[in-house]
Structure 1
Amino acid sequence: MRQIAIPLICAGFATITWLSLSADDSSRLQLARPVRIAAAQSDRLANEGKLQRPRGDDDLLGGDDLLIADDLLGGDDLLGGDDLLGGDPMADGLLSEGAMPSDPLDYLGPKPELAKPEASPAKDPHEALWTENCYPSAETCRSCHPKHYDEWSVSSHAYAVISPMFQRFEQVMQEYTQGTVGSFCMRCHSPVATQLEIPRTTSVLDMPPVVREGVTCISCHRVNEHYWRGSNGDRRIEPGDIHQPVGGGSCGTGVAEAVAKADELKLKTSPHQTGPGQAMHSGSFFYEPLTKSDLCVSCHQVAVHPGIGLEIVHAQYRHGPAAAKGISCQDCHMGAVPGKPDGYEYCHAAVINEKPFGEVKKHSNHTFWGPGYSIAHPGVFPHNPKAKQFTPRQWLDFDYRAGWGTDEFEQSVTPDMHFPAPWDNTDDRRDARRIIAANQQKIDEKRSSAVITLEAGVDVKGPFFLSEPRSGTPLKIAYQVSNTSEGHNLPTGSLGAQPQLWLNVALIDPDGRRVWESGYLDSMGDLADMNSVDVAQGRVPRDKDLFNLQTKFLINNVRGTDREVALPVNFSVDPIPFLRPGAVPVSVLNHPPLIRMEAHSIAPLDHRTPKYHIPASVIQKKGPYRLSVRMRSRMEPNYFMRQIHSTPDMIRRMNENMLDLRTRSHTFIVR
């Protein structure tokens, strides 16, 4: 296999390129190959008998196709079942197998084909030791701080670089811009990898564990310089082994006490100490930024090269009520209650020789409460020390959906079934299943906390009837959607990734049939707006009442009006779309010429009132009707995932984990 390197034209801080995956890696990791290639590879392996196909439903998105005409007028209740996830475009006959969807955004250019890389060279046997001595892993910190590690291991910080969506987005941005992005994205998503200057031709699967940890412990606790409000990943991790001092939010008296009793507690505070004992840092210093919101600005207030404010949450926070009251980012995102400044948990900060040590003190929760969720393979994420008995590449071959390792599956295995090593051993499959089960439980807990975090900042009131419900006449209703948070807009975060938050409303008639709906998904899992292929091709009506808080990029066409796009590039008359600085003061305008952002988010403590017009044709019967409503949250829209060549399994996981908020129903009588 050949490896490819995206040419590096310029880089902001380091002359490096970044994470390109081999063809084999990407088809299994679901990070770097187009849908058509992943499907073809899967079919070839299945035909050769090298892989067991998952059993059960192969539907890409799960559930029934919501938008077939008959289904729009009937079916299950809005708040039950998976019917809102749409159908499989291949299974529905909308696409031939191996074909990419017809995308209205195809005019942006052809989808690049990746050359097949060569196998990675043999790893240096001393690499792991050298890396640990410079940049200790979170696994090392875990011995004294198991609670912090357990919380962090499923957080979005721990997910930052192993995220399949990030890997695909970063790779496509490199391809679209001919490498001019450089290390821009990686400085925040994996600061250790940036300092190690690992080339992009190295697969993330082959990198040291501390790199796959993304924003790991030392990313915040081994920085000793205040960068104030610098952005775009401006910070430097101090290299050194586990014994080097760490920064904290207190004066470090607990560490000093432990160091003073090192012999009694059997602690090793120096690399020169040998024999048994628990290794720890030799000191701690008060790092004031850890107690302030300015610590977060480095990665949560980011402008991309054309001048667009991509991450804007810190700017929203600075101008909001929470900042005026002295409420910090940490108060809501590291406190005891997800999304609310309701105080902190108190507990011991460290465990030494399996016993709590020191005084009980304020505990900052390292789950970093937020709305994100994982779509990675559950053997690779969350981080789990027991999972290290298998390599990431081996985990990606483990078909957890087919039931490998469960009693039911193992009892049905026959001699003619073939498994990739090491999964050809039933004991290994059973061990892996136990790890998957533990990780899945943590994923479910994280997803639940994401719902709680979002519901701490969103409220839905209504319905409000703007006309009298009468049979044979149109019905006008409204809801009030409020941002109850004082911290920042709803939604906020990375606008470049375009997280979606929309209102889904359905009307159920006296016979229990769903006769009208807004906020529905088409057969490809997209909202029925201008980004829907089904709408563009006339298979599905446009959702004219859609209430979607997603912020979108707009560009000005050479002729005509603005239109929405998924990826912003500073266009030029040259054939290659290099990223160039704007010719106007973009830091003032917050957008370059011809590109801007269309914000739909709600400011803190503000509200919006979506209105709906229900046609008379669906209100013909008299009797009790029911309006069901929910807010829905998804980290990425499906059209965007397809554009960056996400695999069907990535799209399936994105929709399976979609968050439903503020679900409620209201019954009323039509006379």
Structure 2
Amino acid sequence: MIILVMVTVYMITSNTLAALPNAHGNLSSDMFASSNKCAQCHAITYEQWKGTMHYNAYEDPFYQKEVLAASSDTQGIVDEFCSRCHTPIGVVSGEIPPIDGSGLSSIAREGVQCDICHVISGSNGTGNAPFVVSPGNVKWGPFDDSKSAYHGSKYLELYTTSEYCGMCHYVTHPLNGLVVDDTYTVWKEGPYAKEGVVCQDCHMTSGITKFVANPGRAGSGAKKREHISTHEIVGGNAFIPEVLGEKGYGKMAAERLEKAATLSIDSLQMGQRGDNISLNISITNSGAGHKIPTGVSEIRQMWLAVRVKDASGRQVYNTGDVNANGTVGDAKIYNTVLGDAQGQPTLSFWLAQSILEDNRIPPRGTVSEKHTFRIPDDVTYPLALDATLKYRSAPQDLIDHLFGEKVHEVPVLSIAEMSVNIYEDGETSTETTIPATPGVGILGTATILLCAAHYYMERRKI
């Protein structure tokens, strides 16, 4: 009975895919140009793209492990579904399946490459890669006056909109319609869209959290323009670039994460020995037009690590450390929790049938955590409180399961930090601690917020 149901679903899914533009196998891979050929005239853009997660969309070792597991769990139902964004040429040319990549041409292994992006001549909406591609001598793009001696050029407004990105960065489950990646729709319904800020303004300029013009030429011999989109298109994945030896892109991802959030602390300035101290630490999504984390948010992990020490270095309070086995100790994890058919949490989105929890932080949204600790009777003042917002791309035990123990260590990044001191009643504060990443902290809510605002403005040169 289960096999019959799976076969029936597969037939439905196949028919659905066949109804999409450029369905499985209706083109051939030799109709597309290799990115090496594009590099001859677009060298700067090519070098920006080479090594990125788009470049490695198929070669990403985490993706390859996951898609094999998904294929096994679903008897191949999701093979074309997943591959449509990770090796689009492989899908439209019929080289996937087999899902193990044994039938892929070298050009299909280029992932999200130059030609597949610039022969998109239309879209059948947003989500699940409904692109229309027209391979050939004409290349589409965001300029209405482009001229090339090598190929034809056409303008398509789609390239200037978030809907272009939303083709792949909005994913619904192919069988039950569950939204498993809401990056595009959160932007669409959020404040940035209302202000006219599109994905490209943050992800295709050097401004990171705001648009910064990049004057130059799109290619050799092309006219000089006030802005040429950069093609690193980095998100928050600092793990896989490091695994692939692309440390530069890992560093760029870490820098982007550091601009995503800020911290503030509301706490008492004074505390007597034996007192129970309660404080609120707030996290604000101050730099992302989507929720943080986003993307495959069921495996992303973001949390607060809070530590209090007295002047002698004695630990008074501690939460959010990474344990020796790679788990996060006693901290709230900000991510999405997916539920399987039995209502149990699952990290496998292809098995998901519900969302059990979503505590991610929306654009310009703020969440607050309450932390309470007792000041020991024999404490040495002042107490130093350090709050750090941590992030990693995947749980360590998941990576150990996929690759084997101690093969890859998932980096834990500090993306925002804040420090304050707590003094004994009658003691005078003589200094302010300024953290290394966004946020400024001294005791007292009003002063904290004023200093944080000033520091935030200076950091971003607004």
**Normalising by the residue count of structure 2, what TM-score does the alignment of the two structures yield?**
0.80
Contact 2:96-2:104 at 8 Å conserved across structures: no
Indicate which of 330, 342, 351 corresponds to 2:220: 351
Indicate which of 101, 121, 145 corresponds to 1:224: 121
Partner of 2:129: 233
Measured in 1, the distance between the counterparts of 2:99 and 2:170 equals 28
Alignment of 1:88-487 (within 5 A): 131=29, 133-201=30-98, 203-204=100-101, 207-227=104-124, 229-240=125-136, 244-255=137-148, 259=149, 280=150, 282-304=151-173, 305-340=175-210, 342-351=211-220, 357-375=222-240, 381=244, 440=245, 443-462=246-265, 464-465=266-267, 468-485=270-287, 487=289
Measured in 2, the distance between the counterparts of 1:634 and 1:453 equals 13
Measured in 1, the distance between the counterparts of 2:390 and 2:34 equals 36
Q: What amino acid does structure 2 have at the position aligned with 1:487?
A: G
Measured in 2, the distance between the counterparts of 1:376 and 1:203 equals 22
3-state SS of the aligned residue for 2:168? helix
Q: What amino acid does structure 1 have at the position aligned with 2:405?
A: P
Contact 1:160-1:215 at 8 Å conserved across structures: yes
| Unaligned stretches of 5+ residues in structure 2 | 1-5, 20-27, 426-462
Contact 1:339-1:452 at 8 Å conserved across structures: no
Residue 647 of structure 1: how far off its partner (Å):
2.7
Partner of 1:648: 405
Measured in 2, the distance between the counterparts of 1:556 and 1:224 equals 39
Residue 642 of structure 1: how far off its partner (Å):
4.2
3-state SS of the aligned residue for 1:300? coil
Contact 2:213-2:226 at 8 Å conserved across structures: no
Distance 1:212 1:467, change over 3 A: same
Aligned length: 407
Measured in 2, the distance between the counterparts of 1:565 and 1:603 equals 23
Measured in 1, the distance between the counterparts of 2:126 and 2:51 equals 27
Contact 1:468-1:475 at 8 Å conserved across structures: no
Contact 1:339-1:369 at 8 Å conserved across structures: no
Contact 1:333-1:368 at 8 Å conserved across structures: yes
Indicate which of 607, 614, 638 corresponds to 2:373: 614
Contact 2:88-2:112 at 8 Å conserved across structures: yes
Give deviations 1:601-656, integer Å, cap 9, x for gaps: 12222211111122445x7312222222221111111233345x23335531x23x
| Unaligned stretches of 5+ residues in structure 1 | 1-5, 16-129, 260-279, 382-439, 529-542, 571-590
Q: Which moved more, 1:484-493 or 1:160-169?
A: 484-493
Measured in 2, the distance between the counterparts of 1:474 and 1:136 equals 67
Measured in 2, the distance between the counterparts of 1:239 and 1:478 equals 56
Task: Give yes or no for the alignment of 1:623 onto 2:381.
Answer: yes
Q: Report percent identity of matched pairs.
A: 22
Distance 1:620 1:550, change over 3 A: farther
**Normalising by the residue count of structure 1, what TM-score does the alignment of the two structures yield?**
0.56
Give deviations 1:322-380, integer Å, cap 9, x for gaps: 1111111111111231132x33211121126xxxx4323411111113111243686xx
Measured in 2, the distance between the counterparts of 1:177 and 1:612 equals 43
Residue 492 of structure 1: how far off its partner (Å):
2.0
Q: What amino acid does structure 1 have at the position aligned with 2:70?
A: M
Contact 1:160-1:214 at 8 Å conserved across structures: yes
Q: What amino acid does structure 1 have at the position aligned with 2:417?
A: T
Give deviations 1:446-482, integer Å, cap 9, x for gaps: 23322332233311112x2258422233322221111
Partner of 2:304: 503
Distance 1:569 1:362, change over 3 A: closer
Measured in 2, the distance between the counterparts of 1:332 and 1:376 equals 20
Q: What amino acid does structure 1 have at the position aligned with 2:328?
A: L
Partner of 1:384: none
Larger Rg belongs to: 1
Q: What amino acid does structure 1 have at the position aligned with 2:176?
A: P
Partner of 2:346: 565
3-state SS of the aligned residue for 1:289? helix
RMSD, aligned CA: 2.9
Distance 1:636 1:505, change over 3 A: same
